[in-house]
Structure formats: C-alpha cells, structure tokens
Structure 1
C-alpha cells in the first residue's frame, strides 16, 4: 500500500536480506589465498597483478579499515562485506574491470607491485591484528617454466595453519590461475607426516646448523630440548627465518674424527606432528684415505629395467669406524671427472652416487649424494675411481661384464655387487650380479655380501724389456703402490735398477743404470711388495726376460698344430723360438 507520487501503490513487495553480527577476526580467519606476481608472458589471465583473499570461516567480516601490506607499503581497504567461504580479488583500481568477470573485486589506488622473485604480504584487521603473513618466493612454484611468468601461486590447503612453501604451488588451471574461485590445487588432506632431521652441518667451529625436512612450529623448535653426545654442551638456539632450521651454539668444539648423536625432544612441525626419528648422527669428518671408502656396487646397464630406476649409479661404503667427509672428492672414469661438493658418510654406511637430476629417483632406496653429471659407466668394461680432494686414488674398480657370471643378467637391468668390502682389490673373484628381485641393492648391504678375504700372496707374472734400459713387470693382482715403490728389485748379470715407476695397479717400469745386451737371459726378483690387504709377495717373485731383437726367417717356427680337437676341446698353434 505504499504509493509513489503518481499514486501507484505497491500491491506486495518482498525483498530478502541477511542479518549478521560483524565479529572480530582471529589469525587465519581471512588469508592470502592466491598471488599473481608475474603476469607475463600471458597464459590466459589479464596481464595485471592481483592478490586473492579468502574467508575460511562461517562468519561475515567487514574489511573497512583493514590493511594490506606489501613489505612496508600499507594500503587501507574500503568498506566491503566478505561473506563466509568467499573470495575477493585485490588489484589496482584501474584493473577492476579486468577482474570483475572473475568475482568480487576491491580496487586499490596505486596497488603496489608484487616482486616476481619474492615478497612479504600481510593482512591486518582494523585493530592492527595480524591475520595472515605470506613471504613467498619463486621457488614456491616448484616449476621452472611456470615461475617465469603467466601463472599464479595458489595455496593448497586454506585451512592448514602452515604458511610456507609446502602449502603453496603453481596453479594447474589452464588459464594460469583461479581468481575469485576455489584454487585448482585445493586439497584439505591433513598433514600427518612426521618431520625428520635432514642434516647437521658445521657453520663454524662453535655453530651447527640443523635442517628439517619441512617447516617446523617456530615456538616448538625454539623451546625444544637439544642434547649432543660426547660431552658437547649447547649454549644457544636460534630459529632460522624459514622455520626449517635452527642454529646451535656448542662448546667445546667437535673432534674431526668422532661421530656425535644429536637428540631433539618436543619439536613439532606447524601441523603438530612430532619429530620422528628425533636423533641424528653427525660429525666433521676428514677426507678418506686409501680404501677407507670403497666402491661396492655398479649399475652400468639399466635396460631392460627389472625394477631399479633407469639411471646409472654407483655405491660407496665407509669401511671404517670414523665419519668421512666426501666434500671435494671426485668420481671419475677413464675420460671424465665429477666433483662431490658436499656429503658425509658415517661408519658402516652406504651412499648412492648419481647425477643431481635423478636424486629423487634414488632417494627411496637410501642415502643419496648427487654430482653435476655422473661419469658414464660403460656397459662392457670401464674403470671407475673415487679420488680424494688432491686427486689421489681412494679406491678404483676396473670391471668387465664377465663379472656378472650370468649371461642373462649381463644384458642389463642388474647391478654388479662387491662380495667382501675387506677385499677392496678383488676383481672377478670378488664381484657378481645382484640377486635382489628388482635388480640391485643401492644404499643397502649387497645380496652378495659375504666373507671373501684375499689370503694369497701376489705373483710376478712376467717381465718384458721394452728397451735396453727399461723393463716392465706385470703382477697377477693389484698391488699397494707405496710398497711397489719401496720394494727391492734385483736383476742378474750385474744389472742395477736406477728408478721405479708405477704404470698402473698391476704394472711397474724399472729404469736401469746399465744397459741390457742381446741374447742374454736375465732374471728379475722382487722382494717386499704386497697387495691391497698386506699379503707380501712370496716365492713366485721371479721372472726371466731378455732384450728382444729383430727375427729372421726360420727364427720362429710353427711347431705344433691341433686342428681337430675332441668335443669340448680347442684348436691351437704352438710357436717355437728356434
């Protein structure tokens, strides 16, 4: 019955409305939910920056007087009613028409630029209470292509209390983002994964950095109980800015050869999961000496796959009771070398060495240390070596595919395993194909692991005069290089040895003080040389040689021929020096 000025009455007018009580928000009620810091190159969204807010509650909030802060630049939000479970897009006032089709928009005069590489964004209510802070970086995209522009950063779980990289990633929406609507990566699955200790590293003599596998609750790691074995006292704890690490001040300084155990009690991640396991063995470590770390597994041929990652790897084993620092060591084959930039190996521990690009493929198998590019392991044969930071050989293996002892497994998909690490220079007799059902045992004890000690003295196989003043000796196994240089060499007929040079692991060149003559048989004797495990050369220490000369017709004759052997036999030809 209400009439207008022309006496037209309202018969019946019904207009729905919502009554609500504006409440004071608490931290996490309204959050920063999506960030568009780098709009170019365009994927589908407007080429303008925005930040999306999300009301995570069933309450209604009036944003009048609230503050949006980009690092230190403060922008006051206008009167706007943010409904429960609703979104609003913040952008420059000149861009509101561009984003209005996507949802509710608040235009801000001189909307501050969002730094592509990273920035700190905050939302405060009208009483200056902090509701949400997000300090993002372009690593949060977790995608090297998307971080270059055109894609938004989206929060994964808006109801999780964690505001860190673990809860953010690049949008999966084909147009590059989801302004004003639920994020494409939305997932409310709760975090039930316990955090763990990733590493403990020395920063200085009195400072240790403890790194965790995920973002921790800052208060819990600030107040946690830290203890270190070996009489080490912790005098200070500083929480890292990303809440993924702490710096511990210790006293006294650590012993470089000792292994210590750190225990942390009452530490939780930001979801409340307790640190597990809460102990970690660590130490400073020294560079390895010869045979302290040995190569115990090789994977040169990964096709066809039996179950292991289709990537090459080798395995190292610490055969001591000391912690070993591999930083600065090298992995090499006969043509290329890759340096290990960091990494420590505990007593009795196995380490997988592979290229950095495939670390994630081997991480489920055990502890992994990556190198920029692992030298290629040739399928049929190759020589792989571990060198110390001064390029001195710690351990090397010259392998052959005959070592598999299995014609099927040597075709690919199976690793070669060392049988006994205490026989580091054992060759075909100390290696065999893995019997693990999926092809190998990277990072764990070998299936072939057994006692296979070398208890045999080395033998001198032959001596050959390569000139009238040099003789090359060849042994049947790998010898200790120091012992070869210190050994005593005697040659009959008054020949003296001027110097000794190690040509390779089994070969030595003797330079003579006086010259050899033709048509004289010489005998060389070796005393004092020993193999890798200390077996000293015994009675098989002599060899006969002569200075070779030009032969003429009839000097060498074919003396015997077998051309029709029994089944299982072999043809042969015998040559005789006449």
Structure 2
C-alpha cells in the first residue's frame, strides 16, 4: 500500500535514509535535552539551548511549530526533523558554536532558561501540544553539576509521564550531548505503583492526602473515585488538588475518636500504575492527658551529638504529629519556647515511639537506630539544660498531655559520667514525675534507645531474679549451631550492675566480658570464645564468674563451668 493512500495531503521528502512522508503528530518530537545553566563552562559553548528529538518513524515538518518557555513564545523556522535525528534550538548568536555538534534550529533569540526551572512546551502548526516539560534543578540529582555547565538529559524519549524520574544530569565529560544520543539514554518504563505518604484529617469535614509521586490529575479530580466508609450516599467533594496531593471535604461531620475508612477508586500515577493502597483510615482525634507521654530524654549529649525527646503513643489512636507540640517552662513556670512537631512525617500509631531531634546525624552517629522512620528531624526543640529542666508535651489546642521535670541526679548514682546517657521512662502507665519511674539507659543498649523500646522498660508483673547459662559447650566455627555462650539475666528491677570474668583451668583471667555494665531488668550477654585481642582461645574447659550488685547493697554471684570445643576455621 502506498503512503499517499494513507496520507494523501502529505508531500514527500527525500532524505539520506529514504523517502518519508512529513506528518505532524503529538507523539513525534520530544524535548530531549536542556542546557539551562551553561556556566561555568565544562566543555560545551557558553550558550543556552534546547534539543528536540524525532522519536517517530516519519519525518516531521517544524513549520509553524511554537516553542514556549514560561510565558515567552517563539515560532520555529521552517525545518525538517528526520526520524531518529536531533535538532538543537538556539539563539542566532550561539549558532556558530553549536553547529559543529549537529543540526541547529536558529531563532533570533531563545527565551531565557531559568536555572531553577520552568515550563517548556512545544506545539505543532495546528496548535496541538506535542510535549511539555516542567524541568527543575532538582532533576540533576548531583549537587556539583547543579552549579552549572551540565545539561539535563531525558533518559527514555518514549516515556512522557513521571518526568522527574526520567531526567538527570548528563554524564558526558563535555557536560552534554547536543545533536547526539543522550549519554544517559536507556529504557526507563515506570512500573512502580504510587503510595500514600500521609493522610491528614484537617477537621471533622476535611482531609488531605499526599502521594509519593505525581498522579493522573484527571482521575484525581473525579469525585466518584472517593467513598467515605464505602457509602456512596456521603458526598465527597474535591476542594483543590495538585499533582501529588488532594484536599477533600464531606457533608456529615466525623464522630470524634472514631476511625473511618476512605476508599480510593481508580486512582493511578501519570504512567497508569494503580495506587498501592485502595483504603486509608481517617479519624478526627481529640487528645487527652496520658494519651501520649514523654518516654525518653537526652539532655546532655556527646560532643558533636544532639538532644532528643522521645514520645510514646499510650492510646489506641492514630495521631498525626501536627497535633503535638513541645515546650519548656521559664523560672516563673510559664510555658515557653513552644514548638510544633508538624515537620515529623510519620503518623504515630498506637503503642509506637517517635524520637525528635534537630540533628538526626548527631543521634545516629552514637546510637543504634533500628527504626529509621521513628527518628525524625524537626527545626527546633525547647531548650534542655544539661543539669535540670522541664519538658512539656501539648496538643495543638494547648492541652497539657504530659510534663516531666528532670535533673541529672535522676541518673544511676554509679555512673561517674552521664554525658551521652539518656533518661528512660520505666513504665508509661506510672506518674511522669515519680523519680523512681526514670532510669539511665543501660550500657548494653549503648546508653540510649531513640525511637524504640526502652532498655529499662519494666512491667507491673512480679519478677524474680533468674540467671541461666546456655550453650555451655560451644564451638565458634560459624556453622550456626552453638557458636556462642549465652548468659540470660532477669532481675527484680532495673539498675543492677554486672561484672563477668572468664578464667582458664589454672585460675588465670583470660577475658573480661563485663566491667561495671549498667543492666536493664532483662539482659542477654554473649561470648564468642575470643580473648581481648580478638584471637580465639584454645579449646578446653573454662570457668565463668558473674557478679551482680545494686545500689541497695544486694549482691549475687554465679559460677559456671563451660567448654570451648573447637577452633574457629
């Protein structure tokens, strides 16, 4: 079948690759590379330019096409872009420097390309939009290249959705690839489902949703795609939306402290991937004293470290940090330095922890952080003096939820230096200002437990002292079977101190496992058979001596014979 039968009005052009009909199609040419900030020069001319690429199998006539940068519009000159070829759109003053790299489309002046970002749109001769790119300097993904001299390159010309994930800085040593295939070119299909980052109940009749990536805004603005409690009788309205968020309202107010299900139907991202979560829970929370409590304080950090405050959700409610604030008291006992926790992103689920600090690196450098999302950075915290102070936890209505008066004397008296040691709440159900309800974090935990269960957490259940030695015949050969000696200790209360020594059959001390270690109420100690230099001791019998004592003068002694059965390979 001849092409003229399909496109009778299209003239033929002879090119080096053969004969192609010229057509204008919204999927033909794409904006493929952007040089918005050419200085400092890396290896290309000091000029701004935009590269077009014909991703179609047919030639494209650019006659009558328009290029817009922001609100500034330019009409492209009559030119033909053959299949699989590139054209660099530039100003006449820059043409001579760019022509050696390939085909140029020259304008009297190119609209200024803002370094930080702008919208670039391309329309054909009939006024149809061919391509739109809302570029941003965050797309470089490289702080050095963001400073200038490097172009932004499109990774996959066939992908028109999820723009931010389809652009990055050029990797070509010259700083870009004008008129040539992009250095970062590869297939880059989007198969990742979008997620809901946060759900914020703004009032009894309003809520907002934040998504992990730009969504299909046509679907996002269809009211039938939202159902409250699955009830199509409850009218849900869309107050406003953006690509990554939507603000909803409804007529019937929510009942306080009652969870509702918001069903999300047919929502997809720009590339058509369906939303990961089809149902989210919303709730209008009213907080009462004791619902959330202050659970751990670090007020005297290591040099280079930072203070933190840990809170614990002692209720069955899902609490947005926007509803929480921290404060201190001045000498007149008035609330001062009230700061909101709205910058924290994680919803505080029932019976979970959240530690907040102004410097997460100043915490993670010194302590184990098993729950990365449970430690969040906030712009500021109330001042916490190293010797004493008051920390107050409030709701957004300024209801006092909890208050703790601390001082350094609340630390364990056998700690000669409390720098870098947190105070942990022993039991969240007991009074906040009972000094016996606070204890120094155990040395085995690293002296702090930000964002997870306190090392000194105690329960009201009675407990007897119990010490057990497990795997007393052990072979540290890394085969996963009896590789370590295990000592488990359960004490009547936290705050005991432990010393543990290992002797050979001649009574010679060969290893000190514990040296005045501050214990939690329950601890587990391990020994892998090595001496202080890290070398494995010879096989044979050994004796382990464990000494426990507390500040009340109570002592306990345990002695156990063990056998190291083989050398580690």
Residue 366 of structure 1 aligns to a residue whose secondary structure is helix
Question: How far apart in 2 are the matches of 1:356 and 1:429?
Answer: 27
Q: For the pair shown, which has the larger CA radius of gyration, 1 or 2?
A: 1
Cα RMSD of the aligned pairs, angstroms, is 4.8
Relative distance call for 1:230 and 1:257 in structure 2 (3 A) is farther
Counterpart of 2:356 in structure 1 is: 353
Is 1:195 equivalent to 2:199 in the alignment? no
Q: CA deviation at 1:105?
A: 1.7
Q: Secondary structure at the match of 1:421?
A: coil
After TM superposition, list the pairs within 5 Å mapping 1:409-558 onto structure 2: 418-425=425-432, 427=435, 431=439, 433=441, 443=451, 445=453, 451-452=459-460
The answer for the alignment partner of 1:366 in structure 2 is: 373
Give distance in 2, aligned partners of 1:255 and 1:171. 54
Structure 1 position 212, deviation (Å): 0.4
The structure-2 alpha-carbon separation of the partners of 1:395 and 1:124, relative to structure 1 and needing over 3 Å to count, comes to same
2:246 is aligned to 246
TM-fit CA distance, 1:233 = 2.5
Measure, in 2, the Cα distance between the counterparts of 1:269 and 1:363: 32
Residue 291 of structure 1: aligned partner: 290
1:24 Cα shift?
3.7
Give 1:237's aligned residue.
238
Spell out, residue by residue over 1:70-122, the C-alpha distance to the aligned partner (whole angstroms, 9 max, x if none).
Answer: 34444333344434443321111221112223333211123222344443211
Unaligned 5+ runs, structure 1 = 1-15, 455-567, 571-578
Judging changes above 3 Å, is the alpha-carbon distance between structure 1 residues 84 and 199 closer, same or farther for their aligned structure 2 residues? Answer: same
Q: Distance in 2 between matches of 1:369 and 1:214?
A: 21
Indicate the SS of the match to 1:94.
Answer: helix
Deviation at 1:372, TM superposition (A): 0.8
Deviation at 1:211, TM superposition (A): 1.4
Give distance in 1, aligned partners of 2:363 and 2:60: 44
Q: C-alpha separation between the residues in 2 aligned to 1:393 and 1:122?
A: 53
- TM-score w.r.t. the length of structure 2 is 0.61
* Equivalent-residue separation in structure 2 for 1:345 and 1:384 (angstroms): 19
Q: Distance in 2 between matches of 1:408 and 1:187?
A: 60
Aligned to 1:110: 109
TM-aligned CA deviation for residue 353 of structure 1: 1.6
**Matches of 2:350 and 2:358, distance apart in 1:** 24
Which segment drifts farther, 101-110 or 295-304? 295-304
Q: Corresponding residue for 1:274? A: 274
Question: Which consecutive residues of structure 2, in runs of 5 or more, have no partner in the other structure?
Answer: 1-14, 331-335, 463-550, 554-569
In 2, Cα distance between equivalents of 1:435 and 1:297: 15
Cα distance change of structure 1 residues 365 and 277 upon mapping to structure 2, 3 Å threshold: farther
Shift of 1:31: 1.6
* C-alpha distance after superposition, 1:210-233 (max 9, x if no partner): 210111223443447322239792
- Aligned twin of 2:88: 89
Give, in whole Å, the separation in 2 of the partners of 1:238 and 1:388.
27
Equivalent residue number for residue 118 of structure 2: 119
Alpha-carbon separation, structure 2, partners of 1:48 and 1:93: 11
- Counterparts of 1:217 and 1:371 in 2: how far apart (Å)? 32
Aligned residue runs from structure 1 range 147-226, under 5 A: 149-171=148-170, 176-186=175-185, 188-201=187-200, 206-223=205-222, 225-226=225-226
Sort the Cα spacing of 1:273 and 1:445 in 2 relative to 1 into closer, same or farther, 3 A: farther
Deviation at 1:173, TM superposition (A): 5.3
Kindly tell me the number of residue pairs found equivalent between the two proteins. Answer: 436
Q: Is the 8 A contact 1:196 1:278 kept in 2?
A: no
Check whether the contact 1:166–1:214 (CA below 8 A) recurs between aligned residues. Answer: no
User: In 2, are the aligned partners of 1:31 and 1:55 still within 8 Å (CA)?
Assistant: yes
- Taking the aligned partners of 1:358 and 1:221, their CA distance within structure 2 comes to 37
Question: Could you say which residue in structure 1 is the equivalent of 2:393?
Answer: 386
Q: Distance in 2 between matches of 1:263 and 1:251?
A: 16
User: 1:418-456, CA deviations, whole angstroms, 9 ceiling, x for partnerless residues?
Assistant: 4432125255655464799899765555576552489xx
Decide whether the 8 Å contact of 2:388 with 2:406 is kept in 1: yes
Encode CA deviations 1:352-405: one digit per residue, 9 max, x unaligned.
Answer: 323377699889723565321456878998765435565957232637698689
Which residue pairs with 2:64 in the alignment? 65
Please give the secondary structure, in 2, of the residue aligned with 1:274. coil
Distance 1:401 1:192 in 2: 56
**CA separation of 1:303 and 1:87: change in aligned 2, threshold 3 A:** farther
Query: Does residue 320 in structure 1 map to residue 315 in structure 2?
Result: yes
Matches of 2:418 and 2:186, distance apart in 1: 46
Please give the per-residue CA displacement for 1:242-289, whole angstroms capped at 9, x wherever unaligned.
x21223231123445444332313222223332223333334434x54
For 2:187 and 2:353, how far apart are their aligned partners in 1? 38
Residues 50 and 364 of structure 1: CA distance in aligned 2, closer, same or farther (over 3 Å): farther
The residue matched to 1:165 in structure 2 has which SS? Answer: helix
- Kindly tell me: are residues 278 and 298 of structure 1, through their superposed partners in 2, closer, same or farther at Cα, counting changes over 3 Å? farther
Match of 1:56 in 2: 55
Whether the 8 Å contact between 2:306 and 2:362 is mirrored in structure 1 is: no
